Structure 1
Amino acid sequence: MYKLQGMYAAIPTPFHADESIDFEGVKTLVNYLADAGLHGIIAGGSTGEYMMMTTEERKALIKTACEAADGRIDVVAGTGCMRASQTIELCNYAAECGADAALVITPYYMIMSEDMLYDYYKEVAEKSKINIIIYHYSGATTTNMSSQCLARLAELDNIVGIKNTEDMDCTAKLIGLTAKNDTFNVATGYDSLAVPCLAAGGSASMGVVHNIVPKTMEKIYACIRENNVQEAAHMAIELNDLIMLLEAEPYPGPVKLALDLMGLPGGLPRKPIDPPSNKMREDMKACLIRHGVISG
């Protein structure tokens, strides 16, 4: 049973100028984060632009990330699709590749009842050969589940956790409702809520800033584990300007730009997402210098 805990970077997918996937770039990013001591990565999640890819591209990305990780860093594969059968196919492929868990976003666009969503995840969990992490992100999908429904899902075999990209009220209630469930853990999907989530009893943070300052995020996690919440909060507050900048223009443009400025493969987002503006480039460079990520 996979244990969802620690700091995870939702890695962007670098593309060539013709928008084909830069697989060598993917390997470089995985190696960089593994060498930095980060606990895990999400390959093919929202930041990875999975919604802009074919199924075959998603498979190739998952396979490349798993091969590059080679057991040095956990790989959570983004496998969510609108239909359960497609999600199960991708989950089982991720299992074959050696991924540690699958991140399954809620079906979106269509209005669904909580019973429908429960049945969807129940089928995926029962038929997948890999542990499932729910991806709850109503701000992007418009699909919302109550804390009570999520706690009910947490009781299903093979569902081991959730990336809850919701407000802290929802996250804290879910942590409380599942506190006695030893096989289910709660992660936040918002960079700004990493410390509040962990301090409230959550187990992980899965976000974007982790790509830029992986060692700092690991230090924050270590402080929480040592019950030094004050120091963890201090480090998180120091990152606030960087976190806000990463959200100032449509993702994943800003994080890709930051990686480019760091000498790592970021590249441009796939269309129709615009590349970062000139102002973003200037602001990001200044911010990275201020944080000591790059030299002036």
Structure 2
Amino acid sequence: MAKIIAPVVTIFNEEEKPDYAGNKKVIDFLIEGGLDGILVLGSAGEFPDLNEQERLDFFRFYAEYVNGRVELLAGTGCIRYADTLALSNAVYELGYTPMVISPYYFEMDQEKLFVYYDRLAKDVKGDLYLYNFPPRTGHSIAPETIRRLIDANSNIIGLKDSVSTPGHTNMVCRAVEGKPFTVYSGFDDQFLSNIANNGGGGCIGALSIIVPEIWSSLVKAANEKDFDRTFALYHLIQK
């Protein structure tokens, strides 16, 4: 079944700290709009503007306010490996599944990416999503590397693939066929291409923050195989 998950924005106050009242309004708006889940402090959530303690405090607030109403993912990637591991392990207790962007700033080839995620998967206490975003990291995780990682680590359960064209995502879906692994597209306009693949789980797309009701209706129509309505709603997303 396809899903739509919002990579939610973070509302800040004039002191550039999280505005909790403002964020509650966003949470209610998204849940009332029918979304399947929320990715907290991903790229759209401006995670670099908070230190690790501030991020953990924000994750705690978010989980308490959501109170199980939708699925929660947590962006836990940090510059330092130790911080990524500590934050990832901490969010399990709050009900999140961590999603970890590949190391940014550092030059990474495929072997280094494998070593990084393989170590992380073996050190964390639960399941884990990969996050591939080449425009922000300077590298892309190859489909073959992803297959190596999930062959070695059953707790790597999915991927957000924020790539400019769907070809890479399609190749990832081919590479992981037969494995319990969910691939989400990171851009709204790749939804139909995504769900046409075995393993395609839908989208973690930022337009869902603005028009959650269109996105949730689109996913419902696609899951019900109502193709006329699917295409009509997808046309609105494309516009």
TM-score (norm 2): 0.93
Work out whether 1:137 is the aligned partner of 2:137.
Answer: no
**Structure 2 stretches lacking a partner, 5+ long:** none
Match of 1:170 in 2: 168
Match of 2:74 in 1: 77
Work out whether 1:189 is the aligned partner of 2:186.
Answer: yes
Indicate if the aligned counterparts of 1:6 and 1:204 stay in contact, CA closer than 8 A: yes
In angstroms, what is the RMSD of aligned CA positions?
Answer: 1.6
Q: Distance in 2 between matches of 1:217 and 1:199?
A: 17
Q: Distance in 2 between matches of 1:127 and 1:5?
A: 30
Q: Deviations over 1:189-241 (max 9, x none)?
A: 01111222122331121011111111211221122222344532321222223
- C-alpha displacement of 1:64: 1.2
**Structure 1 stretches lacking a partner, 5+ long:** 242-296
Q: 1:18 aligns with which of 15, 19, 32?
A: 15
Counterpart of 2:100 in 1: which secondary structure? strand
Q: Distance in 2 between matches of 1:84 and 1:5?
A: 32
Counting matched residue pairs gives 236
Match of 1:60 in 2: 57
Match of 1:113 in 2: 109
Match of 1:217 in 2: 215
Indicate if the aligned counterparts of 2:2 and 2:222 stay in contact, CA closer than 8 A: no
Q: Distance in 1 between matches of 2:119 and 2:20?
A: 32
Give 1 or 2 for the bigger CA radius of gyration.
1
Counterpart of 2:58 in 1: which secondary structure? helix
Q: Deviations over 1:123-168 (max 9, x none)?
A: 2111212311100010121121211112222332211100001121
Q: Deviations over 1:94-141 (max 9, x none)?
A: 112221x11100001211121111111112111212311100010121
Q: Deviations over 1:49-107 (max 9, x none)?
A: 001211111111111111111111111011011332211100111112221x1110000
Q: Distance in 2 between matches of 1:131 and 1:211?
A: 25
Report % sequence identity.
27
Q: Distance in 2 between matches of 1:45 and 1:194?
A: 19
Q: 1:151 aligns with which of 140, 147, 157?
A: 147
The one-letter code matched in structure 2 to 1:135 is Y
Of 228-237 and 211-220, more deviation after overlay is shown by: 228-237
Indicate if the aligned counterparts of 1:160 and 1:185 stay in contact, CA closer than 8 A: yes
Indicate if the aligned counterparts of 1:80 and 1:105 stay in contact, CA closer than 8 A: yes
Indicate if the aligned counterparts of 1:199 and 1:224 stay in contact, CA closer than 8 A: no
Q: 1:238 to 1:12 in 2, by over 3 A?
A: same
Match of 1:127 in 2: 123
TM-score (norm 1): 0.76
Work out whether 1:89 is the aligned partner of 2:86.
Answer: yes
Indicate if the aligned counterparts of 2:2 and 2:219 stay in contact, CA closer than 8 A: no
Q: 2:99 aligns with which of 100, 103, 115?
A: 103
